[in-house]
Structure 1
């Protein structure tokens, strides 16, 4: 096994004002903070049954692949992706599924890491993170197999091409936060 590359400690002040009565929270491996904030408004989706235990019990908790969401179209007012691409780099499929299940003018909130170009001798990319929610400090470490780079521009471009408009962008050292609004549905491809 090769070595790892670790960013210096990253700090994120998380005071989300996530609007909407039904909010889908996609979790692919990160610390869950959003079900604690959203409580019964959250529908928590994870790829691993072990992560269900981390979500607030007042939320709806489901094991589901975020690239194949099985909800009716326009079921949610908002969507939260917290380090979703960091662990599951299927940007296009995830964004397309979020577009399908979000109502028009629904909000998309993304927090993720800028991943630089891979260094040949490093196998893993590590992000030590301190999250300040104004109610608690959460220290967590995110580790992923280092296969590709992830500039913030890539995420913005993919979302824009799939019916989202950027309304807010923040960068906290190597962590980015994007807020977007759904302005158009995905156009169906002719078979």
Structure 2
């Protein structure tokens, strides 16, 4: 990262990191060369600022490559989350951390995601959900807020098993996620959902984009959870979003 006239400029690698490497460095170079990202060369390397990245997302990525299911509202005001909470993938916008603060232990394998998350008094830990470092029966609640859409389907089982292990008997595992349809022959390769999240008396606006390389629906989670030993207490499908509450008995 370079700073010129108090404006920070990101290089190609840093831009790719923003997109979780879903847009490769080579692709970003081509966008610069085609003029689709407005940038400058510093020490013979392309750089751009956040304003140009935002414009690129809105006017190139969302139009050319994205299957956008539009804006959805999530109201957390009626959601009950009790005791010590483990939030899987709690970096980024840190929605659960903002909602429950000191009750939350937020884990994410990506240090940058945790460092960039708002400070809401939750404990932030760099950790892979496939190998949780906690003792058995540690947490009253485990949450995953639009997290599994980022995780390869082949890793879901081990993560569910780890969650079941660290959850106390009688504890709840609560999932919010997107319904991702079969891609088929659609040439677009990015799935995107916009959210308005109500947290107490304020609204948090965010969006989640990921490679469109998997199918996710409510049965994806309920069938897996049943096989591991969870009971499904609640399942709701609202347009393109899923809410499920499981319990460990």
Q: Return the TM-score normalized by structure 1.
A: 0.89
Residue 33 of structure 1 corresponds to which residue in structure 2? 95
* 2: CA distance, partners of 1:178 / 1:11: 16
Q: Does 1:75 align with 2:141?
A: no
How far, CA to CA, are the matches of 2:181 and 2:91 in structure 1?
20
- Residues 68-99 of structure 1, C-alpha deviation per residue, up to 9 Å, x if partnerless? 11111111111011111111132111111100
Deviation at 1:30, TM superposition (A): 5.3
Cα distance in 2, alignment partners of residues 40 and 129 from structure 1: 24
Q: 1:151 aligns with which of 217, 223, 245?
A: 217
* Mapped pair 1:101 → 2:163: no
SS of alignment partner, residue 116 of structure 1 = coil
1:60 aligns with 2:123: yes
List runs of 5+ in structure 2 lacking aligned partners. 1-26, 28-63
Please report how far the alpha carbon of residue 181 of structure 1 lies from its aligned counterpart in structure 2 after TM superposition.
Answer: 0.4
CA distance in 1, matches of 2:184, 2:75: 29
Name the CA distance, whole Å, in 1 between partners of 2:91 and 2:104.
17
Instruction: List, as ranges, runs of 4+ consecutive aligned residues in structure 1 with deviation greater than 6 Å.
Output: none
Structure 1: runs of 5 or more not aligned: 184-191
Partner of residue 19, structure 2? none
Match of 1:85 among 148, 151, 155: 148
State the structure with more CA Rg: 2
Q: Distance in 1 between matches of 2:119 and 2:142?
A: 17
Kindly tell me the number of residue pairs found equivalent between the two proteins: 182
**Higher relative contact order (Cα pairs below 8 Å, separated by 6+ residues):** 1
TM-score by length of 2: 0.69
